[in-house]
Amino acid sequence: MPGKSVIRLENVWKIYQMGEVKVEALRGLSFEVSSGEFVAIEGPSGSGKSTAMNMIGALDYPTKGSVYLDDHDISRLSESQLAVIRGRKIGFVFQQFNLLANLSALENVELPMMFQGVAVSARRERARQLLVSVGLGERLMHKPSELSGGQQQRVAIARALSNDPEVLLADEPTGNIDSRTGREIMKLIAGLNRQGKTVVMITHDRSLAKLADRIEHLKDGRLA
């Protein structure tokens, strides 16, 4: 059963000024995610999904409205305060993997813990355990260029879990891998949800969205 509110958007607008033109990427979006839920935000290109992800993940500020994380209004915090919250509360999985090419899988997973001040020995052991848990125990020292797309996404998921965040935020997590590998990645994400992780997934793929407990359809910057 879903628990307390983890993320809440209240009447969130995001307006970009493009020269003399105002673009309303989000138009009064109100949205809530409870602890333990698996929610998919689905919509076509240009619907505002990426902007919604930026708001949910505390990556950007709303033009109007409020964003709450654990009932604290984070839309009024400084960038440095937001960065601390992001590091502790939210794990990100991106379509492009966003791994550092010159670091090994182990070092990529260690990185978020380093920014949180975790001791070297502790973060190395946790990174190793996480990589083993996603099936990459034999690939610890491999760099991204030595891994397949699916393996890179598994490293990215392990990295997202490194600081044991409340929320896993996945942006088109299967967009850059083949369909069979994509099913394996989705099975991994669904398994993390069953273990208690709150998952928010951004996708344009309706078949993927159906794997979530709840689907929210975004169109023209608001829920349809």
Q: What is the pLDDT along the chain (224 residues), one digit of tens a residue?
A: 557 899 999 999 999 998 899 999 999 999 999 999 999 999 888 899 989 999 999 888 999 999 998 888 988 888 888 888 888 899 999 888 999 999 999 999 999 999 888 999 999 999 999 999 999 999 999 999 999 999 999 999 999 999 999 999 999 898 888 888 888 999 999 999 999 999 999 998 888 889 999 999 999 999 98
- Does this model's pTM top 0.85? My answer is yes
Give pLDDT, residue 138: 95
First to last CA, the chain: 25
Q: Which fold has domain 36-61+77-217?
A: Rossmann fold (3.40.50)
Q: Which of 162, 161, 163 is nearest to 199 (CA)?
A: 161
Q: How many helices (H) and strands (E) does the chain have?
A: 7, 10
Bridge partners (DSSP) of residue 16 are 23
Written as six digits, the tokens of 111 are 């990185």
- Enumerate residues 6+ apart whose C-beta is below 8 A from 192: 157, 161, 168, 199
Where b means 16+ CB within 10 Å and e means fewer, 139-167 reads bbebbbeebebbbbbbbbbbbbbbbebbb
Positive or negative CA dihedral for 173, 174, 180, 181?
negative
Distance CA 127, CA 132 (A): 9
Which residue's structure tokens are 């958007």?
Answer: 9
Which residue's structure tokens are 């942006």?
Answer: 171
- Angle (deg, nearest 10), helices 149-160 and 120-133: 130
By residue count, the chain amounts to 224
Strand 167-171 with 90-93, pairing: parallel
- State the CB neighbour count (10 A cutoff) for residue 170: 27
Q: Which of 146, 80, 55 is nearest to 108 (CA)?
A: 146
- Enumerate residues 6+ apart whose C-beta is below 8 A from 69: 6, 7, 58, 85, 89
